Amino acid sequence: MSTHYDDEAQVEDLRRWWKDNWLPLAVGLGLGLAAIFGWEYYRTQKNQTRAEASQLFEELKTAVTAKKYDDAVKMADRLASDFESTPYAAAGAMKLAQAAVDDNKLDDARIRLEWAYAHADDEALKPLIHLRLARVLWQQGKAPDALKLLDAGADSYAVLFDELRGDIKLAEGDRAAALAAYTKAIGGLGGETTGTPNAPIAESLQHKIDDLADVAAVKS
């Protein structure tokens, strides 16, 4: 008989506990479900956004290849405005900058590259943007600004940075500085390059160094 009364007491305790705690439990359950469904919704939306940005970037590349510059501008602008948080926005700006250079629209190229640098999430991409921007500035006759960008340096693109510095110095008539930059660049390739992807770069640099043999002779 005592067991029966114990069971009734436990049931009554459970009822009392539920009466006192049902609301916090319901709220907690609701918040938990909201968090789960909210995260799933966010992930779905994010994947959809990336897919749309990727498709638009592919269309931009097609427009650039077809020499439809005005269409490419509209696509790059949409990537920048609607998909700024995706890597395709900076990539689109870089692609359009390349087309602008080919079309001798150097101001447009500079603006796009500056935007890409400011919005690129991938830190490894920023030196490449600086390299391209330095080339554009040089083509615009802004050699000091170009050299200032190159002075920032970049481990992953050090050879190309040094080569471009040499080109600028040579154009300015500073043949000794050009030779120093080319020599540093070819040294950055790390020895034997025959049969490697670096072979064309090494060959180009060696030709530039050979053309400055008179400077080397004076220095020796």
pLDDT band at 9 (very low <50, low <70, confident <90, very high): low
Q: Which of 89, 111, 142 represents a domain boundary (last residue)? A: 142
Same domain, 130 and 196: no
Q: Is residue 174 part of a domain?
A: yes
Same domain, 164 and 214: yes
What pLDDT digit, counting tens, does each position of 18-47 carry? 566 656 766 666 666 656 655 454 455 556
Split into its structural domains, the chain has a count of 2
What pLDDT digit, counting tens, does each position of 163-197 carry? 999 999 999 999 999 999 999 999 998 877 777 88
| Residues spanned by the domain of 203 | 153-220
Quick one: which of 132, 138, 140, 141 has its CA closest to 161?
A: 132
pLDDT for residue 154 is more than 80:
no
Same domain, 188 and 130: no
Same domain, 56 and 100: yes
pLDDT given at position 194? 77
Q: Which of 88, 113, 142 represents a domain boundary (last residue)? A: 142
Q: Is residue 171 part of a domain?
A: yes
Same domain, 112 and 64: yes
pLDDT given at position 35? 60
- The CATH number assigned to the domain holding 219 equals 1.20.58
pLDDT for residue 1 is more than 60:
no
Same domain, 82 and 125: yes
What pLDDT digit, counting tens, does each position of 40-66 carry? 544 555 567 788 999 999 999 999 999
Give the mean model confidence (pLDDT) for residues 81-95.
Answer: 94
Same domain, 136 and 55: yes
pLDDT for residue 215 is more than 60:
yes
Q: What is the 3-state secondary structure (H, E, C) of the chain?
A: CHHHHHHHHHHHHHHHHHHHHHHHHHHHHHHHHHHHHHHHHHHHHHHHHHHHHHHHHHHHHHHHHCCCHHHHHHHHHHHHHHCCCCHHHHHHHHHHHHHHHHCCCHHHHHHHHHHHHHHCCCHHHHHHHHHHHHHHHHHCCCHHHHHHHHHCCCHHHHHHHHHHHHHHHHHCCCHHHHHHHHHHHHHCCCCCCCCCCCHHHHHHHHHHHHCCHHHHHHHC
pLDDT given at position 197? 82
Q: Which of 75, 108, 142 represents a domain boundary (last residue)? A: 142
Same domain, 186 and 136: no
Average pLDDT, the chain: 84
- The CATH number assigned to the domain holding 96 equals 1.25.40
Same domain, 54 and 128: yes
Return the number of other C-beta atoms located less than 10 Å from residue 120's C-beta. 19
Same domain, 107 and 72: yes
Measured CA angle at 159 (ends 154, 163), to 5 deg: 110
pLDDT for residue 91 is more than 80:
yes
Residue type, 102: D
Token match 């190159």: residue?
150
Q: Is residue 185 part of a domain?
A: yes
C-alpha to C-alpha distance for 215 and 136, rounded to whole angstroms: 28
